[in-house]
Amino acid sequence: HVARLLDGAVTLAPANAGTHVVGWVTRDSQTGTPLDVRVSDAAAEDDMVIFPLSRYYLGIPPDNGIVLGYGGLTTALIASGVRRLARVLEKVGVR
């Protein structure tokens, strides 16, 4: 479901348990603000909290990742969040 809605723009890291998952965002050719930060900032404008993975690195992260929380959410709320994330990705030019 996530892969279809996000059209390959985000690949979820394997996760068997927990409350968060890392989504690897397709690299883009823009320079300046890192892609994961742009996604996080655009999500905040839509009242979503998505953390850029680069926030957790001392150096340069290997790729653009976003930290997505899902703990305590129903499948319907997760699906709604994925649809909202798809719109955010379109806004920043990833999809």
Instruction: Give residue-wise pLDDT tens across range 50-93.
Output: 999 999 999 888 888 999 999 999 999 999 999 999 999 999 98
Q: Output the pLDDT for position 29.
A: 67
Provide the CB-side half-sphere exposure for 87 (13 A, CA): 11
Pairwise CA distance, residues 17 & 26, whole Å: 24
| 3 pLDDT more than 80 | no
* Arithmetic mean of pLDDT, 10-15: 90
pTM for this prediction: 0.86
Distance CA 74, CA 90 (A): 25
Quote the pLDDT of residue 37.
92
20 SS3 class: strand
pLDDT at residue number 89 = 93
Residue range 34-60, pLDDT digits in tens: 899 999 999 999 999 999 999 999 988
| pLDDT of 30 over the 80 cut | no
For residue 82, what is the DSSP state? H
What pLDDT score does 55 carry? 92
